Structure 1
């Protein structure tokens, strides 16, 4: 091994493969049972460039190699996910601070403010997310958030923000995503979620279509699986509900071939049930 990043294809038989694959997973090395699946998964790492947030983060835009991608508005994304019985948190749109104050009073919990912009996908990176805001503080939080965004992404078009009730505590954050490659098709990603998902990189990949058994293996394959299984006397989380969401997400990817990327991050897994807190759908 070179130390520069490895991908392993292991064909040693079921029992040996399980034992050796676990050791490699502990080192952060992905393992695949066949050469075809390994190559296809590897292709996904080169299919999409990471882009830094900035003045014109119009995803898929101004690219001579493919069509411009559009970010689906959060309310539309919620309607789509709920139509597949995926429990997505409400995203109420507001054009200005006064409207946001009125909307915040409708919720029984503190709210999350999230900027709405076709040029900003990773909202946290530019200060476009403010959490745990009580109704009396919404106006001040709105103004401070917008001021920060103007500094960090000065050219971005701002259409307002959405308000969502804060999720109840006690769950484990995971990430679910689907990326589509013109040659290899759709691939699902699963791992520990939240804002540190890209840092920990504790993920598993799966080519679609796939079924519940494959999704269960993905969940059990991450290094953080004991957190979901109930480590150190804690109650196990509702893995069955998580598998159900993964199955429905795979169905969306099948039904909508024009969807290039679907990111659900975080998905909060509770002792009973799950909640999709944030969502990002890029389509042609």
Structure 2
């Protein structure tokens, strides 16, 4: 028996990358899982694919209704859906700022708001938000993205304080640079993809990109009923990038 047996989870951005890894990890551990995404995931076993646009409140509410109608309830929400952005604070206009914040921050607000009535009825209510190392470390050319993920970290703590006494734990995972399709597209657009990948790997102390499955393991821990004393925290899965200061190799 797994601690997730009988529990229902919904994962936004569940079609690929980190989201797909989270869907797989939860399903492997006995949860019934809904993968919410703009690209609908094919149904398979205990995984239900639901089309959802986190940038639209009506779409989110309909998706959560579909999940609870199909499974009979909702216990775990993983807010993973997000988009990237590059540039300094001067490089993106207001429309781009609003577009990214609408998905990366307000998208989590919408899904959490729609899920809360169901999570309040759960014996193991939990929300896990996926943030980023960009929320806690200053990275070049990431002003807008960092602001959106910084908001996620602050929102996580506020939600944890608001809902702990309702039996709902809220936590956050902050990945480092991960080996995802989005990062792959960034590398493909670089002038020298191999050199860019080497630079991204080198800035993480363990010397490589983080795998989606490693991030999924952290999400699973925070979502688990076995972690009932863990609330309002952010777990870094970044190869030590946030806190370690290693000497150069050979020194």
Q: TM-score, normalised by structure 1?
A: 0.27
Question: Is the helix fraction higher in 1 or 2?
Answer: 2
Question: Is the strand fraction higher in 1 or 2?
Answer: 1
